[in-house]
């Protein structure tokens, strides 16, 4: 096959949406750089670019040769146009044994990145084909972590005293419940001797509580030595930052006031922390200009992609500590890589060295011989919190999340029939089924259903009608007050009340969220956003179902550095009074610091309506009531991690909506596996 005939065949893939224009453009660029590049190498480059678009760091050649359609997920979403050849048939003209030698000989491919001028766009390493930039990121992350593996010297007596003082109340609660190990205090002890620590755990396992008390211990030890630590807190998105800030306030209130005052409460996004440069992949802080801090905590680390992790490690001062918090079982980052998943690949198994368990016993008081095993140097820095304080034995959501996470579809399906008041499943019968609209607007799909699902405190599920009713009521009250405002101090009081009203609306909007697995189709984000907006308009809750209108919820689809708003930030379009005494539509966002930022709608070019959002976009958030809609047909996107992430966004109620119930079990049986060489590199790390 010639390069020209290959491009002709792949152009049909492009037309059918099997490939991105970028995938084919890469191959054309390689051919321009080296006109003698074989078609076999060009095809491998197209597949590698395609995989990168799906979140994989590289193309695993052996897996590709064994299962080409499955590895590439082609045809996409189960479609199989008869006129297109499958990937296996395109590759059939070359023998399986020829692929690695052909790639190793190609002028556009570097073997293990050893070319002197670093000009070759592709890298072949350990049977994997990378785009050079991502090979470099993978190596940088492994090298950055290796530099932080040497255990730190600690004052054993002072550290034991601090940990005992700060964690004694929590350990007491655990001992009363008969638990053998209090993993929060174990995690803190582990982190105190490390420049790099991962603390992973599911919802409600106490990650924030653990890190606050850990920071208090480290800060007290530092202040006793004469110099307080410069501590920074960050999260991947504005939503996650705001949520961490809120959680910190509750955890700090349990500490002695002088110590709590020494712990920061301001949480930044990673982009703001590193200093994003508009229209650039570069940051203000890097290896040559590191951040000014001694300790960095990053929450929701499962959302951090490989490129961001490489930038973060490069910008950290050599002596600074890095603590990652996150749920290893959640969906991986939207961009390429699954860094937290690679770091925690073996976290649930006994992997601690005897020296590690001896240290943990002396500082936490717990015998951990049962958790000894043949771990790597990196695994001595990882702690897994195992007990959920949010989902107890009386929580159907907790049982469902556990069954899904353990890959038990039969057990998960059985839970729908056991009368859990926080779980509801409904089969959607088609476009004429109005259950979904009633659920989204009223919070209940059938008369009396909400009453049966009331919690002890008397709360019941809410839908979008709740925040829209509050918007109309509060807006009318503000309008009446505005008509009476004369003096500047009256207007100032109005603006204060208006800001509080906006915060209440944003909080009320977060009481309910509809999540989707896919973007397109009747049960995807686009179709359901139109359907819900139309239903709200028919009920008179919004004035129109398209364009800008009061009550429209929106989500940013890309970073806007000029406005200091980030991809995933959610806002509400509201009629607000300005300093000129005019009432205008503005889009209000909650800042990571807990304030309100309002923006003219015309300044927001990359936003989407967000009555429905993808499960991916929901990461870093939680809602009182979460409803998740599965599509009508099977898709590679339906995985255990996606279902688990959707379920664990719910605090009090979870509803599953599906036109095809069998897909729930199918998704539980399918794992998300991202091709990467990072876990292999991490396994070989040794302290410097």
Binding-site residues from annotation: 201-208
CA distance 182 to 370: 14
Contact 106, 645 (CB under 8 A): no
What are the start-end ranges of the E strands in 119-195? Answer: 122-125, 128-131
Contact 339, 682 (CB under 8 A): no
**Residue 241 CB neighbour total at 10 angstroms:** 29
Contact 284, 157 (CB under 8 A): no
CA distance 386 to 391: 12
- Please, which residues have CB within 8 angstroms of residue 681's CB and are 6 or more apart in sequence? 138, 139, 142
- b/e sequence 44-56, b meaning 16+ C-beta within 10 Å: bbbbbbbbbeebb
The reply to whether omega before 363 is within 30° of 0 (cis) is no
Q: Residue by residue, what is the 3-state secondary structure of 643-658? A: HHHHHCCEEEEEEEEE
224 is written with which tokens? 């006793």
Q: Beta partners for 626? A: 513, 654
In 201-290, which ranges are continuous DSSP H helix?
A: 207-224, 238-252, 257-261, 270-274
Q: List the one residue out of 162, 156, 204 whose CA is nearest residue 185.
A: 162
DSSP string, 23-65: HHHHHHHHHHH-TT--HHHHHHHHHHHHHHHTT-SSEEHHHHH
The reply to whether omega before 176 is within 30° of 0 (cis) is no
Contact 141, 678 (CB under 8 A): yes
Annotated binding-site members for ATP: 201-208
Q: Beta partners for 572? A: 553, 588
CA distance 453 to 192: 44
Contact 7, 46 (CB under 8 A): no
Contact 521, 632 (CB under 8 A): yes
| Alpha carbon separation from 306 to 58, 343, 383, 530 (Å, rounded) | 12, 12, 21, 35
Q: Kind and range of the H or E element at 295?
A: strand 295-298
CA distance 263 to 218: 10
């Amino acid at each position: 096959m010639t390069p020209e005939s290959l491009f002709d065949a792949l152009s049909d893939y492009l037309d059918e949406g099997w490939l991105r224009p970028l995938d084919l453009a890469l191959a054309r660029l390689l051919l321009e750089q080296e006109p003698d590049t074989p078609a076999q190498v060009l095809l491998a480059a197209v597949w590698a670019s395609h995989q990168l678009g799906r979140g994989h760091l590289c193309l695993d050649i052996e897996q590709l040769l064994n299962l080409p359609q499955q590895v590439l997920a082609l045809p996409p979403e189960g479609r199989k146009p008869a006129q297109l050849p499958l990937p296996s048939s395109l590759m059939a003209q070359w023998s399986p044994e020829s692929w690695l030698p052909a790639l190793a000989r190609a002028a556009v491919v570097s073997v293990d990145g050893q070319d002197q001028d670093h000009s070759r766009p592709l890298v072949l390493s350990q049977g994997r084909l990378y785009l050079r930039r991502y090979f470099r990121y993978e190596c940088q992350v492994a090298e950055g972590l290796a530099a932080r593996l040497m255990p730190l010297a600690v004052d054993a007596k002072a550290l034991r005293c601090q940990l005992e003082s700060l964690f004694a109340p929590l350990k007491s609660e655990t001992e009363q419940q008969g638990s053998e190990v209090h993993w929060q205090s174990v995690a803190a002890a582990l982190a105190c001797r490390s420049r790099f620590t991962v603390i992973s755990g599911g919802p409600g396992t106490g990650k924030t509580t653990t890190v606050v008390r850990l920071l208090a211990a480290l800060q007290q030890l530092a202040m006793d030595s004469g110099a307080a630590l410069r501590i920074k807190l960050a999260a991947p998105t504005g939503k996650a930052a705001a949520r961490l800030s809120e959680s910190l306030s509750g955890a700090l209130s349990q500490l002695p006031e002088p110590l709590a005052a020494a712990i920061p409460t301001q949480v930044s996004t990673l982009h703001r922390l590193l200093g994003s440069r508009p229209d650039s992949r570069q940051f203000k802080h890097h290896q040559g200009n590191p951040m000014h801090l001694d300790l960095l905590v990053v929450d929701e680390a499962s959302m951090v992609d490989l490129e961001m992790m490489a930038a973060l490690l490069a910008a950290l001062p050599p002596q600074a500590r890095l603590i990652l918090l996150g749920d290893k079982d959640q969906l991986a980052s939207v961009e390429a890589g699954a860094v937290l998943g690679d770091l925690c690949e073996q976290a649930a198994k006994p992997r601690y060295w005897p020296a590690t368990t001896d240290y943990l016993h002396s500082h936490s008081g717990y015998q951990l011989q049962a958790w000894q095993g043949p771990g790597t140097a990196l695994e001595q820095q990882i702690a897994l919190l195992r007990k959920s304080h949010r989902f107890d034995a009386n929580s159907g959501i907790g049982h469902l999340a556990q069954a899904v996470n353990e890959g038990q579809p039969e057990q998960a399906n059985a839970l729908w029939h056991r009368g859990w008041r926080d779980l509801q499943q409904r089969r959607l019968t088609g476009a004429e089924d109005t259950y979904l609209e009633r659920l989204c607007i009223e919070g209940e799909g059938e008369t009396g259903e909400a009453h049966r699902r009331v919690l002890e405190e008397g709360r019941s599920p809410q839908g979008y009608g709740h925040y829209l009713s509050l918007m109309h009521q509060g807006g009318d009250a503000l309008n009446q007050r505005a008509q009476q405002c004369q003096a500047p101090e009256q207007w100032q009081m109005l603006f204060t009340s208006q800001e509080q009203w906006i915060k209440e609306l944003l909080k009320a909007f977060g009481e309910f969220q509809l999540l989707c697995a896919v973007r397109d189709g009747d049960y995807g984000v686009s179709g359901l956003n139109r359907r819900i907006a139309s239903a709200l308009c028919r009920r008179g809750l919004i004035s129109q179902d398209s364009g800008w209108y009061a009550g429209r919820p929106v989500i940013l689809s890309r970073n806007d550095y000029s406005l200091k708003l980030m991809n995933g930030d959610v806002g509400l379009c509201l009629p607000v009074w300005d300093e000129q005494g005019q009432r205008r539509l503005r889009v209000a966002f909650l800042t990571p610091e807990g304030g309100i930022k309002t923006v003219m709608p015309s300044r927001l070019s990359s936003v989407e309506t967000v009555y429905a959002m993808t499960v991916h976009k929901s990461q870093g958030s939680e809602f009182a009531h979460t409803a998740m809609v599965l599509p009508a047909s099977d898709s590679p996107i339906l995985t255990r991690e996606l279902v688990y992430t959707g379920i664990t966004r719910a605090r009090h109620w979870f509803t599953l909506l599906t036109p095809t119930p069998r897909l729930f079990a199918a998704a539980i049986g399918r794992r998300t596996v991202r091709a990467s060489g990072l876990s292999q590199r991490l396994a070989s790390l040794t302290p410097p």
